[in-house]
A and B are shown apart, each in its own frame.
Chain A
Amino acid sequence: MDRVNENLNTVNQPIYKKDAMALVTGQPVYTDDIAPSECLIVKVLRSPHAHALIHTISTEAAKKVPGIACILTYEDVPHKRFTMAGQTYPEPSPYDRYILDRRLRFVGDAVAIVAGKNEKAVDKALKKIKVTYEVLEPVLDFHKSKDNPILVHPEEDWVALCDVGADNKRNLCCQGTEGSGDLDAVMAECEYVVEGTYHTKACQQAMMETFRTYTEMDAYGRLKVTSSTQIPFHVRRILSTALDIPKSRIRVCKPRIGGGFGAKQSVVTEVFPAIVTLKTGKPAKMIYTRYESQICSSPRHEMEVTVRVGADKNGIIQAIDMYTLSNAGAYGEHAPTTITLTSCKSIPLYGKARAYRFTYEAVYTNTMGAGAYRGYGATQGIFAVESAVNELAVKMNMDPVRLREINMVQEGQVMPAYYGEICGSCALDRCMAKAREMMDWDAKYPARDMGNGKVRAVGVAMAMQGSSISNVDVASATIKLNDNGFYSLSIGASDMGTGCDTILAQMAAEELRCPVEEIAVHGVDTDISPYDSGSYASSTTYLTGRAVVKACRELKEKIDQYSREHPGLTLKEIGNECMCNNNIALEVTATNSSPVSPPPFMVGMAEVEVDTETGSVEVLDFVGVVDCGTPINPNLARVQAEGGIVQGIGMALYENIQFNGKGQMLNNSFMQYKIPSRQDIGKIRVEFESSYEPQGPFGAKSIGEIVINTSSPAIAHAIYNATGKRFHELPITPEKIVMGE
């Protein structure tokens, strides 16, 4: 901890976001604000059926609508399967889609692409496309999908690049088992065992800016793609595969992004305007409606996690057994990877366990395919494990805080379920102590009857996440000294609104001992930026941050050497030397991968008030204490935590993607899909108890994802303490509280 404040000038300071004033004054900096006005409007005709084959499709009448430039069907697109998942090649997600396919796999799947001069013409043309469908029976229930005779992907050219146990002839997107220790033997010795099945639903990410992309041909005959994406370099590769053109013909740029949360770690819109521009040579744009963002994008995977936790007579958790069933939906984006996080980012919270086992299956169904959503499986696994541990505490008649105190992972412990990594930094104990004090847990646990039909109660949960994907993710930074002595920092990580441009500049300013204003940051352009996997997996602060530090240190050495060879020059003069008779580039690109993924930790405590008559739940207070290592920018870290907690409250109490018997979504707008408003939340209080991560830049780990993980289990626990009813399925609605699950 004492290392945190080692003479830091800009790191660990609440510096304004570099783009703040542009954002708060409403400058035109987002994709649709900067798209050329002559862009063709691109829209997609969507399948009304959950499972069907296109029997015939006629576009003749539609093409005659004035202003229509291009209509494409499955016959007009390359027949190369790809995945929209933004992951490092070879992607674990199966190659299971075309841009347009004859087989339609969910209500909303793309049938045809229409591009025209204006929205009215396009809408008119969409209505004039004549399609006859051969309607097939869908498989909608993910419990019934495996080995169902109805296959979502019967096609012969379906392929899984990685060995994830996928088998399209069994509707399996992945399957496997892993573990360490003799689970059955250790479990048999346990004095206390609890078991439960926990069902978390698909949730939509609901970032305020929907998915959007515009495309144009540049002066060099290359396809320039401007997109609201977290993964510009993956977009380049995926488009190259999907469009069957060389990567060298594609350039991807990222403007300001109106939120991501993982939604934009999939290539949701890019392929549609891109193929239109390739076919027509004209600029084109696709701006998703909120309706489309709801029904055909990249929500959280619905999962059912069955967990068995065993403890010895002293309350030491000895064994954890987990089985996860995940609903991939119609396409397998991120299914094989999210599912493995359910165990590897929940089980290691309990550092003394001698054995664990994890079995998993992700299956295809004829519903919207899922994607990467903040927490990425850890959220689902932690809801199950933390709920089970709270049940264990009841069984043992022990305070759930105490139970955690004697079991929680500590620095130096090996985490067998976490790639065998050693826990290098952990202040979970201090997080728990702080949360306990802030919530006044000892006085409030478990519940107080308020005497007016209302009961107030508290609940607790712990959480972890990772910091980048170890031995996979690559981050880079380029730093150069300019004339007049200011610096340019070029990064390949996408600032999606969280402020990474700013915190990376803070790190550069700290290393180079200059004001943060002297660091000009350039966001992502795949032609210019050094390679970065993208902004996901809680990687930017930790991994790209380390790349920035490396680059700055090398540049400092170069400047020092220049200075020794040319004594007496100021930094400004050294910068100016580059403009005349110069042979030395004062510019460095550094690249960084990490052999480990140091987990941040968190304790969340909720205080709720339940109206026992109506079942309504009010979250009065939520305390989150986070160990993200050194917070590079305490303000931005705090807002991450507050935002994540509230998003988690939505998941716990309101948000629920539902389908009717025909596979049509019932929650296709903000009218039916309620995200929390400012009236729905009480106090949200966040504090930091920082460990110092030796692998991280300035001791930092990550903050973006972990903060969503405690809301559901802590609130479910508080509701149990208020009502005596245990809820295994989210969201916990008033109906369920009054009428039972």
Chain B
Amino acid sequence: MLVKMWINGEAIRDHIDPDMLLLDFVRRHGCASVKRGCETSNCGLCTVMLEGKPILSCSMLAARAEGMHVMTLEGIQEEAREFGSFMAGQGADQCGFCNPGFIMNVLAMIRELTDPTEEEIKEYLEGNLCRCSGFVSQLRSIMEYLKYKKGEQDGSGK
């Protein structure tokens, strides 16, 4: 079947099998940042934004994204670098395999929540698993990043 959607702002038309998952579709179209970590919607590695909202691309048929806008980390490289440097500053990147899905969800969280508490952050990101870091350095990165963004808004700088 023919599907049409936007991936990172680019219009894509492709013929696919009806059972193709969005995860495999975006990987086929150059978005290798999107990873598969499980087959049971448990790990969050395949997180992409669909119409601005984070979803698990492993649990959605590509055909259901017909006509919609899909964003992957490839489409928000500048933000990824900005937040990612805070992860690197903590050594939180580690093996990196979960980073893209995690960062997508962090950036979604920042758009959705204002001044989130540690508990709210943990709750929002619960679905993003990481086996290397024990999560603590990821939290430190987020707190530092939020402080930085706040400073940026206040004009007080980093």
Residues of A within 8 A of B (CB): 14, 16-17, 19-30, 33, 120, 205-210, 256-261, 289-291, 496-499, 633, 635-636, 638-639, 642-647, 669-671, 675, 677-679, 681, 684
Contacts and interface: CB of A to CB of B under 8 A. Distances in A.
A208 B95 contact: yes
Contact of B96 (A16, A256, A645): A256
A256 B33 CA distance: 13
B98 A21 contact: no
Interface stretch (B49-57, B61-69, B126-134): B126-134
Contacts of A22: 96
A494 B130 CA distance: 20
Contacts of A17: 88, 91, 93
A678 B98 contact: no
Contacts of B38: 290, 669-670
B97 A259 contact: yes
A681 B134 contact: yes
B45 to A, nearest CB: 6
Contact of A669 (B34, B39, B74, B125): B39
Contact of A20 (B84, B98, B122): B84
Interface string B79-119: 01101110111111111111110010000000000000000
Contacts of A639: 90-92, 94, 132-134, 136-137
Contacts of A643: 94, 131-134
Q: Using C-beta atoms within 8 Å of the partner chain, give the interface range for chain B.
A: 35 or more
Given A26-B80, A642-B134, A646-B134, A209 B35 contact: yes
B93 to A, nearest CB: 5
B126 A677 contact: yes
Q: Which of B40, B103, B122 has the most CB of A within 10 A?
A: B40
B123 interface: yes
Contact of B89 (A16, A29, A209, A681): A16
A33 B32 contact: yes
Contacts of B33: 25-28
A187 B139 CA distance: 49
A19 B96 contact: yes
Contacts, number: 182
B131 A675 contact: yes
Nearest to B128: A678
B131 A30 contact: no
Given A258-B98, A496-B95, 20 more contacts: A16-B89, A21-B88, A24-B87, A25-B77, A26-B72, A26-B100, A29-B96, A207-B97, A208-B43, A209-B97, A258-B95, A258-B97, A259-B132, A290-B37, A499-B91, A643-B94, A643-B132, A669-B40, A677-B127, A678-B125
A24 B84 contact: yes
A20 B93 contact: yes
B35 A678 contact: no
A298 to B, nearest CB: 15
A467 to B, nearest CB: 20
A579 B154 CA distance: 54
Nearest to B37: A208
B10 interface: no
Contacts of B40: 290, 669-671
Nearest to A256: B96
B131 A642 contact: no
B42 interface: yes
A672 to B, nearest CB: 9
Q: Give the 8 A-B CB pairs with smallest separation, nearest first.
A: A497-B95, A26-B33, A24-B84, A23-B96, A258-B97, A646-B134, A635-B91, A20-B88
B96 A24 contact: yes
Contact of B81 (A25, A258, A645, A669): A25
B73 interface: yes
Contacts of A678: 122, 125-126, 128, 135, 138-139
Contacts of B91: 14, 16-17, 499, 633, 635-636, 638-639
A206 to B, nearest CB: 5
B88 A208 contact: no
29 contacts: A14-B91, A20-B88, A23-B99, A24-B85, A24-B93, A24-B99, A25-B80, A26-B34, A30-B35, A30-B97, A33-B32, A206-B131, A207-B131, A207-B132, A208-B37, A208-B95, A208-B131, A259-B94, A260-B95, A291-B39, A497-B97, A639-B94, A643-B94, A643-B131, A643-B134, A670-B40, A670-B43, A675-B129, A684-B136
B95 A209 contact: yes
B152 interface: no
A258 to B, nearest CB: 3
Contacts of A208: 35, 37, 43, 45, 95, 97-98, 129-132
B14 interface: no
Contacts of B94: 259, 497-499, 639, 643
Contacts of A256: 95-96
A260 B132 CA distance: 9
A16 B85 CA distance: 9
A642 B137 contact: yes
Given A25-B73, A646-B135, A669 B98 contact: no
Nearest to B96: A23
Nearest to B81: A25
A681 B45 CA distance: 20
Contacts of B96: 19, 22-24, 29, 256, 258, 497
A517 to B, nearest CB: 14
B137 to A, nearest CB: 5
A679 B42 contact: no
Contacts of B135: 642, 646, 677-678, 681
Contacts of B35: 30, 208-209, 258
Contacts of A638: 91, 137
A572 to B, nearest CB: 29
Contacts of A681: 134-136
B88 A26 contact: no
B133 A290 contact: no
Most buried by B among A33, A289, A670: A670
